[in-house]
Amino acid sequence: MTVNMGPQHPSTHGVLRLILELSGETVISADATIGFLHTGIEKTAEQKKWQQVIPLVERMDYLGPQSNSLGFILSVERLMGIESKIPERVRHIRVLIAELQRISSHLVWLGTHALEIGAVSVMMYCFRERELLLNVNEMLAGFRMFPSYLRIGGLREDLPPDFHETVDAFLERFPSKLTEYENLLTKNQIWMKRTRGVGVLSKEDTIAYSLVGPLARAVGISYDVRRAFPYLGYETYEFDVPTRTHGDVYDRYLVRIEEMRQSVRIAKQALQRITPRGVFDIQDYRIVPPPKDKVYTEMEGLIQHFLIYSQGFTVPPGEAYVPIEGPRGEHGFYIVSDGSNRPYRIKSRPPGLYACQAVPKMIEGGMIADVIAVIGSTDVVMGDVDR
Amino acid sequence: MGVNPAPPAGPPDPPPPADLSVPGFISPLQSALPDAVTQVSYWVGDWTMIVATNRLLDVMRHLRTAQEASFDACCDVTATDWPPRAERFDVSYALFSTRHRHRVRVKVRVADSQAVPSVTSVWPSANWLEREVFDMFGIPFDGHPDLRRILMPDEWQGHPQRKDYPLEGPGEMLLENPMDWLRLRYEP
């Protein structure tokens, strides 16, 4: 029997369509169709100035928006050759934001994943903690979902007052809450029966499908971009890369839970290194807007202000790709510049696309009821897949 | 607003700086497959090899299997459109080795409607990536098992990421020569 699942199915994390060939309750073969959320962000970005692309790319992976913009910014900064001029403080703030973003994204994943398998209450708890992280975003930029706080050459503005206290309170509170979620799930018989041995992908297949990130770490590939190709000074932070060996839905769950613990660890170290007030951009006013007191009092500042907001800045011709470890795995932007003030081409490497491609492989031979569990465990965000 | 400049033909690939040692997998490749690699270049932090289109599959198989290379993951396949050039598309492959933790970019240059050999037999993950390049740029891939559109609807006409495809969509001009759009955009 052929069953069409999606694109409007509530458990497909957006609009993923699966065509399942069934024999009884067993999935014989599956075919995934994507593209229902294609918005042409890469094409639109070619018409925007470099700085204007940031809000666009944040809307790709809408659960980890600042990971998108971080990947884009790092590529642009490398191509401009200003990577080494970014102040230490800005790097630590970026690390802190990236790790909070990872926690926030994993919380949505955990909540929805558990909800789909049947543990409804976990979602309420996860969204309670995520709310606190959205509050941090609101403090930073006044925008809860897509703050656009990270900018090429630094940050939008300095940290708000009480930032340290708020983040510190969250980091103190969160580990105990994580234990609370684990008490609900990790040893739960129903959870284990639904997830152990389900959706297994072998190590060879994982590499063949180019899956990196939590899905690869669940089969024992200890590849983490933060370790292999350190950016933003991750080599100076202490953290572990959790790995498991079975590669089933349960192991992916355990890997992500442990990743949240490690993120808290990194975030605490980063928070200690950040001074409450200080320099927040590279202070090269051809790239970042000059401070307002200069704009109002100095001729030069006014000119720079107008240049930034009317023409933007140019990026030397060339291409760059800086991978980062996003919540879903290796994420990055391949950017091409022709030397003008607009990108010539940007291409996101969406980790979700690779996961979607591997979903049929994971669900073939399993039960139809497990399809939901497998899709949930890959943590795909269709905005990221279709762009 | 000034007039848009002429459409660019793309920056020339810069030669690697003299003080930088070439990664160990490049010279074995050049001796195993002479004349396959036409140029080795270095962009900020990324080694790039430009490869003759008809030798692409040989190069990729070598990079996949050779001990010192063992690029077991095809990280990305994408293209860039430079319309003034005769070989207007740069198709670039980002490869990554989970064993050696190194990466390289392989590039081929093709003309409009010239086919590129598909690397799906080497890396299964290239399947959807090549479909996306086909969908967005109209570059056909030879030997691809399932070359269909992936992001756009099946009945769509035109290839949106081409530079001569207007941002607002082709509208009524759909069946006219798409190069006209480029002329309209870049000429005063």
Tell me: the pLDDT tens digits for A173-225? Answer: 999 999 988 888 888 888 888 888 888 888 888 888 888 888 889 998 888 88
Chain B positions in Cβ-Cβ contact with residue A235 (cut-off 8 Å): none
Q: Are strands B103-110 and B46-51 parallel, antiparallel or unpaired?
A: parallel
Backbone angles phi, psi at A212, to 5 degrees: -125, 155
- State how far the Cα of A145 lies from the Cα of A104, in Å rounded to an integer: 11
Q: Does B97 touch chain A (CB under 8 A)?
A: no
Residue B12 lies inside a defined structural domain of this protein:
no
Residue B16 lies inside a defined structural domain of this protein:
no
Residue B76 lies inside a defined structural domain of this protein:
yes
Residue B161 and residue A42: Cβ atoms within 8 Å?
A: yes
Residue B8 lies inside a defined structural domain of this protein:
no
- The chain B residue lying nearest A204, using CA atoms, is B72
Inter-chain CB pairs, A–B, below 8 Å: 94
Nearest chain A CA: its distance from B176 CA (Å): 21
Task: Please give the span between the terminal C-alpha atoms of chain A, in angstroms, as a whole number.
Answer: 32
For the segment B8-19, the average pLDDT, to the nearest whole number, is: 76
Residue B43 lies inside a defined structural domain of this protein:
yes
Residue B114 lies inside a defined structural domain of this protein:
yes
- State how far the Cα of B140 lies from the Cα of B161, in Å rounded to an integer: 15
Q: Does B171 touch chain A (CB under 8 A)?
A: no
- State how far the Cα of A217 lies from the Cα of A68, in Å rounded to an integer: 21
CA dihedral B136, B140, B141, B146 (to 10 degrees): 70
Q: Residue B5's CB: how many other CB atoms inside 10 A?
A: 10
Q: The CATH number of the domain where B91 resides is what?
A: 3.30.460.80
Residue B125 and residue A386: Cβ atoms within 8 Å?
A: no
Structure tokens at A225: 């971009």
CATH of A42-378, one of 3.10.20.600, 1.10.357.10, 1.10.645.10, 3.40.50.150: 1.10.645.10
Do A139 and A166 contact (CB within 8 A), yes or no? yes
Alpha helices in chain A (DSSP H): 41-45, 53-58, 65-80, 88-117, 120-141, 163-185, 189-195, 203-208, 214-217, 225-228, 249-273, 292-297, 299-310, 351-363, 368-378, 382-386
Residue A43 and residue B80: Cβ atoms within 8 Å?
A: no
Read off the pLDDT of residues A118-169 as tens digits, 9 standing for 90 and up: 888 888 899 999 999 999 999 988 888 898 899 898 898 889 988 999 999 9
Residue A44 and residue B149: Cβ atoms within 8 Å?
A: no
Residue by residue, what is the 3-state secondary structure of chain B? CCCCCCCCCCCCCCCCCCCCCCCCCHHHHHHHCCCCEEEEEEECCEEEEEECHHHHHHHHHHHHHCCCCCCCEEEEEEEEECCCCCCCEEEEEEEECCCCCCEEEEEEEECCCCCEECCCCCCCCHHHHHHHHHHHHCCCEECCCCCCCCCCCCCCCCCCCCCCCCCCCCHHHHHCCCHHHHHHHHCC
Nearest chain B CA: its distance from A358 CA (Å): 8
- State how far the Cα of A14 lies from the Cα of A375, in Å rounded to an integer: 11
pTM for the complete prediction? 0.88
Choose the closest CB to A320 out of B11, B44, B129: B44
- The chain A residue lying nearest B168, using CA atoms, is A44
Q: Which residues of A touch B (CB under 8 A)?
A: 34-35, 38, 40, 42-44, 46-47, 78-79, 81, 207-210, 212, 221, 223, 228-229, 317-322, 330, 334, 336, 338-340, 344-345, 347, 349, 353-354, 356-357, 386-387
Residue B2 lies inside a defined structural domain of this protein:
no
- Which DSSP symbol is given to A249? H
Whole domain around residue B180: which residue ranges?
A: 26-186
Q: Residue B127's CB: how many other CB atoms inside 10 A?
A: 22
For the segment B92-108, the average pLDDT, to the nearest whole number, is: 87
Q: Which residues pair with A332 in a beta bridge?
A: A323, A349
Read off the pLDDT of residues B109-131 as tens digits, 9 standing for 90 and up: 998 888 899 998 888 888 899 99
Q: Does B151 touch chain A (CB under 8 A)?
A: yes
Chain B positions in Cβ-Cβ contact with residue A336 (cut-off 8 Å): 80
Q: In this predicted structure, what is the pLDDT of residue B2?
A: 39
Chain A positions in Cβ-Cβ contact with residue B151 (cut-off 8 Å): 34-35, 38, 386-387
Backbone angles phi, psi at A141, to 5 degrees: -135, -5
Chain B positions in Cβ-Cβ contact with residue A82 (cut-off 8 Å): none
Q: What pLDDT band is residue B182 in, cutting at 50, 70 and 90?
A: low
Coil, helix or strand at residue A201: coil
Read off the pLDDT of residues B124-174 as tens digits, 9 standing for 90 and up: 888 899 999 998 888 999 888 888 888 888 877 788 888 888 777 766 555
- The chain B residue lying nearest A32, using CA atoms, is B150
Structure tokens at A260: 């949240």
Backbone angles phi, psi at A359, to 5 degrees: -55, -45
Percent of chain A past pLDDT 70, that is, above it, reads 99
Q: Are strands A2-5 and B37-43 parallel, antiparallel or unpaired?
A: unpaired
Cβ within 8 Å of residue A166, ≥6 positions away = A135, A136, A139
Rounded (10°) angle between helices A88-117 and A163-185: 30
Domain count across chain B: 1
Q: In this predicted structure, what is the pLDDT of residue A107?
A: 92
- Which DSSP symbol is given to A36? T
Residue B18 lies inside a defined structural domain of this protein:
no
